[in-house]
């Protein structure tokens, strides 16, 4: 049963990249500012923007030409990931002063359990102090949600931005959350909302009161989880160890023009596969499921995947499967975006390769080496030679995508 005495904070930095840039260059403060890619290419998509820019209707993922139409004086600068990484590290270091039970979830947000601290200090005093220190010491604004569990804390932090502090208790759920559309609930995306609508569920209240059997039939185990959250229940603990849980590694790219030639598609897939491979190797991971994403010029998405027996981090293997998947399922329509992801990842040193007719020959080739190793160990002692040494994983990788997740390696 959920511990109602728990005090969980969700701290969410406001317009993080833009705010960091305004700290770096004070002349940008109070001006409409956007962080984006190359404005000359179509991949120039708004990564984030200041609240001054949002007042013009500009939002994340908007194309630069559209944003410039809304606000001709919009200032656009490219992202500086080293700068954001340093600011993020300072932010989380400050939070850790209050509790070791800290769970970073992306570069600019995290959960903090201050239950123990709240036994000696008033919780709201602590919350206000955290917000003030982040602003005074780092010059960065943040919003904080205060609740008895992670779901409500995350929901609360979204309620007032920028520089908001919102307390959300379970008893507030019927009044504050239930009247809202299901798509506004944290964890419910567009497709899930459409599926809920198709079975007659349009509000969070309807989800909270829905028949469990209906939800399980439609969504599996996730149906009951959604219902519990709609009732304000969430038994997940703030988990500092979660930063070690990588489920997948992927890269995608928006193409500078619509691509229709197979050779061009293959070239892009190879580059993406190479980047994914580099990041897997940097993390010391291998994966068994290769997935591809195609976004056509009409914005429709198509995803396909294939699972292999033995985990891989090799560019060639990833590329071969990605190419086969895309070429098998491509509808020969102009392509706007391509993505490659390796999922079901595990630590490389934990991999146990399954012998098969395809790998047996390689094991035969390795046999003389194994014999030499055995002789050396008999002479000098077991463990003198290790076939694979697990070294320290580097904190940065050759690909800068998925940066908001890769930064977590700084805390490992």
Q: What is the DSSP letter of 402?
A: T
Measure Cα distances from 214 to 152, 180, 206 in Å: 24, 21, 12
241 catalytic? Reply is: no
Strand partners, 287: 312, 345
Tell me: is residue 239 an annotated ligand-binding position.
no
* C-alpha torsion sign, points 160, 94, 239, 343: positive
The catalytic residue among 109, 129, 194, 377 is: 109
Helix axes 212-219, 190-198, angle to 10 degrees: 130
Tell me: is residue 108 an annotated ligand-binding position.
yes
Rounded to whole angstroms, the Cα distance separating 283 from 407 reads: 12
List, in order, residues 6 or more apart from 6 with CB less than 8 Å away.
Answer: 113, 115, 148, 149
Is the CB of residue 363 less than 8 Å from the CB of residue 357? no
Exposure on the CB side of residue 10, measured as CA atoms within 13 A: 24
Rounded to whole angstroms, the Cα distance separating 172 from 181 reads: 16
Is the CB of residue 143 less than 8 Å from the CB of residue 100? no
Catalytic residues: 109
Residues annotated in a binding site for Mg(2+): 12, 108
Residues annotated in a binding site: 12, 108
């Amino acid at each position: 049963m959920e511990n109602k005495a728990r005090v969980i904070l969700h701290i969410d930095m406001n317009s993080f990249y833009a705010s960091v840039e305004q700290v770096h260059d004070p002349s940008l403060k109070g001006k409409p500012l956007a962080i984006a890619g190359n404005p000359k290419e179509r991949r120039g998509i708004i990564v984030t923007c200041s609240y001054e820019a949002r007042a013009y209707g500009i939002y994340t993922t908007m194309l630069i030409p559209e944003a410039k139409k809304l606000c001709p004086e919009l200032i656009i600068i490219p992202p500086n990931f080293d700068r954001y990484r340093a600011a993020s590290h300072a932010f989380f270091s400050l939070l850790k002063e209050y509790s070791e039970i800290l769970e970073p979830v992306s570069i600019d947000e995290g959960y903090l359990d201050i239950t123990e601290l709240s036994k000696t200090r008033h919780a709201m005093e602590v919350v206000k102090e955290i917000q003030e220190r982040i602003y005074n010491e780092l010059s960065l604004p943040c919003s904080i949600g205060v609740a008895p569990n992670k779901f409500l804390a995350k929901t609360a932090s979204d309620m007032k931005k920028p520089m908001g502090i919102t307390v959300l208790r379970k008893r507030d759920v019927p009044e504050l959350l239930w009247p809202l559309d299901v798509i506004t609930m944290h964890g419910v995306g567009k497709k899930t909302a459409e599926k809920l609508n198709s079975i007659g569920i349009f509000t969070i209240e309807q989800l909270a009161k829905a028949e469990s059997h209906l939800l399980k039939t439609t969504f599996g185990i996730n149906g009951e989880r959604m219902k519990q959250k709609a009732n304000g229940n969430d038994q997940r603990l703030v988990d500092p160890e979660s930063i070690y849980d990588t489920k997948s590694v992927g890269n995608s790219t928006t193409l500078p023009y619509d691509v229709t030639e197979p050779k061009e598609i293959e070239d892009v897939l190879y580059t993406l596969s190479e980047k994914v491979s580099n990041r897997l190797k940097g993390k010391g991971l291998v994966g068994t499921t290769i997935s591809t994403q195609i976004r056509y010029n009409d914005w429709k998405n198509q995803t396909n995947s294939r699972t292999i027996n033995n985990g891989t981090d090799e560019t060639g293997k990833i590329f071969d499967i990605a190419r086969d998947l895309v070429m098998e399922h491509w509808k020969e329509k102009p392509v706007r975006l391509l993505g490659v992801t390796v999922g079901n990842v595990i630590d490389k040193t934990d991999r146990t390769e399954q012998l098969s007719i395809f790998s047996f020959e390689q094991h035969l080739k390795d046999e003389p080496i194994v014999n030499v190793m055995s002789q050396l160990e008999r002479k000098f002692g077991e463990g003198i030679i290790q076939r694979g040494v697990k070294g320290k994983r580097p904190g940065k990788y050759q690909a800068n995508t998925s940066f908001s997740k890769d930064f977590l390696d700084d805390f490992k």
